[in-house]
Amino acid sequence: MPKEEMLPSESEWMIMETLWRCGHDLTSAEIADALPKSSKMNQRMVRVLINRLCKKGMLKFTVDPDDARVYHYSAARGRDECRRAKSSAFVENYFEGNRLSAAFTLLEGGKLSAEQIKELEDILKKARKDI
């Protein structure tokens, strides 16, 4: 499991979600424009977060062939991989590593649809086979 400091923070996660949702390289200005208006992040803050994500190995970049001052960013790690790592860190930090306790707490907090219950049953069936 990656160290928690190597995982994206909540603000950094918004940058990652923007890139995952878009599905192609974006400049820092394009990322800033694509963020939800509720984020209230200015372009300078977006650049700071992008630099952090690059240092964490979460983003990769290419230099624009026409303008060396422009960088195009893309996700270096997938959404599912990051979700698994963040989930594991969450369980370790708040539930002393007890996945069952974490699952119970999350499931008790709201109603599940029939489709979600079916998905949960499928996960449990798979878990039984893996024992």
Structural domain total, the chain:
2
Whether the pLDDT of residue 31 is over 90: the answer is yes
Asked if residue 112 belongs to a domain, the reply is yes
Same-domain status, 75 and 105: no
Q: What is the span of the domain harbouring residue 21?
A: 4-79
For residue 110, tell me if it sits in a domain. Answer: yes
Asked if the structure places residue 86 within a domain, the reply is no
pLDDT for the residue 1: 40
Q: What is the CATH number of the domain that holds 61?
A: 1.10.10.10
CA angle 20, 22, 26 (to 5 degrees): 95
Q: Is 97 helix (H, G, I), strand (E, B) or coil?
A: coil
Is residue 84 domain-resident?
A: no
Confirm whether 88 is domain-assigned: no
Q: What's the whole-number mean pLDDT along residues 102-117?
A: 88
Predicted confidence (pLDDT) at residue 103 exceeds the cutoff of 90 = no
User: What is the predicted pLDDT for the residue at 125?
Assistant: 92
Q: Are residues 63 and 111 in the same domain?
A: no
3-state secondary structure of 84: helix
60 and 116 part of one domain: no
Q: Are residues 16 and 55 in the same domain?
A: yes
For the chain, the distance separating the N- and C-terminal CA atoms, rounded to the nearest angstrom, is 21
Quick check: pTM over 0.85?
no
Q: For residue range 52-90, list pLDDT tens digits in order.
A: 999 999 999 999 999 999 999 999 999 999 999 999 999
Q: What is the pLDDT of residues 1-25, one digit of tens each?
A: 455 568 899 999 999 999 999 999 9
